[in-house]
Amino acid sequence: MTEPTSRRRFLKTCTAAAGAGLLQACGTAPASNNAPSAPSHPVAKARTVYPKPPRHSNSVDNLLRIVASSGFAEDTNRVNTALTRLYNAGFTVTNQQAGSRRFQRFAGTDAQRAADFQDVASGRVAMPKVLMGLRGGYGAARILPHIDFASLGARMRERGTLFFGFSDVCAVQLALLAKGNMMSFAGPMAYSEFGKPAPSVFTMDAFIKGATQNRLTVDVPYIQRANVETEGTLWGGNLSVLASLAGTPYMPDIDGGILFLEDVGEQPYRIERMLNTLYLSGILGKQRAIIFGDFRMGNIRDVYDSSYDFSTVVNHISRTAKIPVLTGFPFGHIADKITFPLGAHARIRMNGNGGYSVAFEGYPTLDASALTLDTLLPPPNLPIFPESGVADISE
C-alpha cells in the first residue's frame, strides 16, 4: 500500500470515528446554544500530528489530551512543534484541534473550552493518562460552572491522571481540588514550553523527573529570613487567579496547608492588595506557611515609592498573617521551571546553609517505560545548566 493511499484510508477512518475521543483531531467539540460555534477571528489550522500505537497493546499510559481553557495559540507552527515533540516523546496526543481554535481572545467558545474537560468527566471520550494545558492568558474562570468537577476528579483518581498547567490554567486546577478532591501539577504546557523552538533543557529534565518519580525533593539554596519546619497539603498557583476566586466555591478550603504563589508583571502594591484579599477572606490564616515562586519583578518599582519593593510586601504579609514566608521557589513565568504536584502532601525542612527543601509524596506518576521521554533532552554528553531568572513571557 502506498503512503498516500494509507493516509487517505487513515483520515477516512478518523472521520467515521469522530466523537469517539480516541483521535480528537478528527472531531469537533459540541457547540453551545448560547455562543457562536465559529471563531470570530479564523486562524490557520495546525497540522495534525498522527499518534503512534501504544508500545504495549493493553496500555494507555501514553494517552495525552490537550485542554485549552484560556487564551488561543497565535502561532500554528509552534502548536505543530509542541504536538510533534510530545508525539516523539511517546504520547498519543488527542484533542489536537484545541490548538487551532479561536473565538475572540480565547481558544474557542466557552462551550468548546469547557468540553475539553467535560467530555472526559462525562465519559464521552477515553480517559487520558495526561491532561495538558495549551497555554495561559485569560478565560478559564468563565468555564468553571460548566464542568462537573466531582465526576472529573473521580475519573482522574481511578485512572491516575496527571494534569499539567500553570498561570490562568490554575483556575481549573484549583476548582478540581476544591470540588473534585483531585490534585494536579504545576508544570510546562504544550504551547508555552513544548512548542518553543528550543525548550529549556532544565525544564524538560525537571518535567521528566517530576512526572515519573514517586517522590520529589526540591532544594532552594537562597538564604531565608524564616525558619520553617512543617508539613501539610501544598496547593496554590497564580496569585491573581487565586485572588479572583476568593469567596467562590472554586477556592479550595485547605486547613493547615502550605500555600504556593507566583505571578508576573505586577507592581508590589498590587501584589500586596491581592495577598490582603486572601488574608481578609481567611485563607492565609489557615496556612502553616507561604512559599513564593518567581514573581519576575526585575525592574518593576512602585510608581509612588520606589523603595516599596517585593521584600517589603513579603515582610508585611508575614507580620499581618502571622505565618512564615519562604521565597525563591523555582517556578513561575520563567524559562527554567520545575514540575511539582499541587494538592499533594509536602514537608518543608531548612538546610544548614540558610536555604530550605520541599519534599513531596503521594501523587500519580507516568510509566517511563511506556514512553520515550529522553527525546525531550539533548544527547547525554551535553551538560544541563539552569538559566535561573531568565524571563519567559509566554504562557
Look at residue 382 in the predicted model and tell me its pLDDT. Answer: 58
Cell numbers given for 270: 498590587
Q: What's the pTM?
A: 0.84
Cell numbers given for 315: 515582610
Indicate which residues carry an active-site annotation.
167, 262, 333
What tens-digit pLDDT sequence spans the chain (395 residues)? 444 444 444 444 444 433 333 333 333 333 444 444 444 454 455 566 554 444 443 456 799 999 999 999 999 999 999 999 999 999 999 999 999 999 999 999 999 999 999 999 999 999 999 999 999 999 999 999 999 999 999 999 999 999 999 999 999 999 999 999 999 999 999 999 999 999 999 999 999 999 999 999 999 999 999 999 999 999 999 999 999 999 999 999 999 999 999 999 888 999 999 999 999 999 999 999 999 999 987 777 777 888 889 999 999 999 999 999 999 999 999 999 999 999 999 999 999 899 999 999 999 999 999 999 999 998 775 555 555 445 554 56
Cα–Cα distance between 168 and 155 in angstroms, integer?
23
Q: Report CA 127 to chain centroid distance, whole Å.
A: 18
Look at residue 303 in the predicted model and tell me its pLDDT. Answer: 79
Burial class (CB in 10 A: 0-12, 13-18, 19+), 8: exposed
Cell numbers given for 29: 467539540
Whether the Cβ atoms of residue 234 and residue 257 lie closer than 8 Å to each other: yes
Phi, psi of 44 (to 5 degrees): -65, 145
Cell numbers given for 119: 467530555
For the beta carbon of residue 99, count every other beta carbon within 10 angstroms. Answer: 29
Look at residue 308 in the predicted model and tell me its pLDDT. Answer: 87
Look at residue 51 in the predicted model and tell me its pLDDT. Answer: 47
Cα–Cα distance between 11 and 14 in angstroms, integer?
5
